[in-house]
Amino acid sequence: MTLAAAGALALAAALDRTLSEPPAPLHPVAWLGRGVAALDDRLPDSRAVGVALAAVAPVAFAVLLAAPVFVAGALRSTAAVPAAAVPIAAAAAGLVLFACSSHRMLLSVARDVIDLADRDLEAARRELRALAGRDAASLSAEHVRSAVVESAAENLADGLIAPLLGFVGGAALAGVVGLSPADGLAVAAGAAAWIKGVNTLDSMLGYRDRRAGRAPARLDDAVMWLPARATALLILAAGGGRTAGAPVASLGRVRSAARVPDSPNSGWPMGSLAAVLGVRLTKPETYTLFSEAPLPTAAEARAGVRVVSRAGWLGIGVAGVSLAL
């Protein structure tokens, strides 16, 4: 892998830290969402449509976002500033990774909802919709905090670790097949965008009552298998001394908790954060992790957000070292 790819990652992390998110009119994920919504309105709710969307939409999104990186890298074959091709491609890849990942925004919304839960419960329930797709109308403050902790952990996997792994994996694959550094950046950017496309499609269509949602949901399950488990390890590492018991024992508790939700993946990051905090997490009438523990207090929920923040930065650091080697 190359220093150029590590530089692209550093640029994405710096942009996330300073800007949080691209402006809404320029956000590629918002474009994808509008496109999927338009197709969903016009196409029948059938499994065939779901398969077609799962096969085409993420790939089209990846090609769209990788194209500028490829074009930037193509400058090396022209007489005009060939030496600048790799740095320009790295900058373009960094912009793509920034658009396909989210860290600061997740933490900011989570902190806001926790602060609101004790001051204005109705407002907290409304704001929770930005984090968790559940009916919050009757949730208590304790259950709102539980939802925030769950969503912070799960969205760390979806919003940051998964595209990071895609970027690193794409760069590694490009190196194995002997692509140039500039072309490798295009592959890495495309891999991150493809994973973001899969996640977005699942979040929009992957519901049990949607026939068209089955294929996107199953694809997302497969794609998120590794990121969910990597996120659990990062959270346990970031939790440090907060975790009760030895790391191996904690991992065993997380493995048991991960089997509780219907999703094959979401229980891993949620269970790891619950183990670190020593709290119960529950989605009423759906699942409960660590039923013997209390629901998180405001202080524990804030501590959970701090752990998620550290886990995210740890993941960025590990990815950066992997790319630079």
Give 55-79 as a DSSP string.
HHHHHHHHHHHHHHHHHHHGGGGSS
Task: Say yes or no to pLDDT of 281 above 90.
Answer: yes
Q: Please report where in the chains the tokens 């295009």 appear, as a residue.
A: 186
Task: Say yes or no to pLDDT of 242 above 90.
Answer: no
Sequence-separated (6 or more) residues with CB below 8 Å from residue 7: 87, 90, 94
Q: Which two tokens stand for residue 23?
A: 């402006």
Long-range contacts of 46-49 (CB under 8 A, 24+ apart): 46/211, 46/212, 47/211, 47/212, 47/214, 47/215, 49/212
Q: What is the pLDDT of residues 52-100, one digit of tens each?
A: 999 999 999 999 999 999 998 887 555 455 566 789 999 999 999 999 9
Residue 72 burial (CB count, 10 A): 22
CB distance 201 to 36 below 8 Å: yes
CB distance 133 to 54 below 8 Å: no
Give CA 300 to chain center in angstroms: 23
pTM of the full predicted structure? 0.93
Average pLDDT score, the chain: 92
Smallest Cα–Cα separation from 214: which of 195, 201, 229? 201
The domain segmentation of the chain, as residue ranges, is 3-324
Smallest Cα–Cα separation from 202: which of 21, 100, 53? 53
Give CA 117 to chain center in angstroms: 25
The backbone torsions φ and ψ at residue 259, rounded to the nearest 5 degrees and listed phi first, read: -80, -10
Residue 130 burial (CB count, 10 A): 14
Q: What is the pLDDT of residues 12-50, one digit of tens each?
A: 999 999 999 998 889 999 999 999 999 999 999 999 999
